Amino acid sequence: MQLKTKVKVGNITNLSDARYCAGMGVDFLGFPIGDADGQIPFETFREIVGWVSGPAFVLEYSDTMNDDDFDKVTESTAIQHIQLNYNQLMQLGAKVENESLILLTDLAEWSVIKSNLSTYNIQYLVLAESKIPEWKLVEEINSAINVLVPQHLIEDLDEIESFPIAGILLEGSSEDKPGQKDYDHLATVFETLEVD
């Protein structure tokens, strides 16, 4: 399936979500790797990605991740991008200078982030806005760096190609039993985004 825009599905914690989304042609799968609630161990991540091909795999970094796990994950060839926020970027500093980054931010931080584009390999900005942004500013940012926005900020998915963005964000969810999932919401989005 070919989609009209780039799609990142985050919070992938099970093989069912990973395979379903990969089959739908998404570009990125984000994995919250760690030991806290809602996260998966690195070993589980490796098992899942062994069964999935197509999308790029993203570590959704959390402050609860210890240094040993971070080193293990970033040394893995399975991870293509690290998603973190600006504070985490500043804390990790040189540890992520050579990594491909997806930066979770809001429009208010853009001026600070812009000054760091030459230091860090920031490939995408993920806008963590809760309300519909000022699209003119988003367009300006997207001309400098690829912008991904949460799907709920797009008023009409049928018009996705007219928005000044590189793509959208969706979220995976937990499953009650392996293989038993309701994909109605995601299916509706993918159906709308499918190239005719």
**CATH number assigned to the domain comprising residue 113:** 3.20.20.70
Q: Does any domain span residue 1? A: no
**What pLDDT is stored for residue 178 in this prediction?**
66
DSSP letter, residue 91: H
pLDDT-derived band at 176, boundaries 50, 70, 90: low
Q: How many folded domains does the chain comprise?
A: 1
Helix, coil or strand: residue 176? coil
pLDDT-derived band at 179, boundaries 50, 70, 90: low
Q: Which helix (H) or strand (E) holds 75?
A: helix 67-75
Greatest pairwise CA separation for the chain in angstroms: 46
Could you list the residue range(s) of the whole structural domain that residue 76 is in?
6-193
CA angle in degrees (0–180, nearest 5) for 194-13-146: 50
Verdict on whether the full-model pTM lies above 0.85: yes
Residue 103 pairs with which residues in a beta bridge? 84, 125
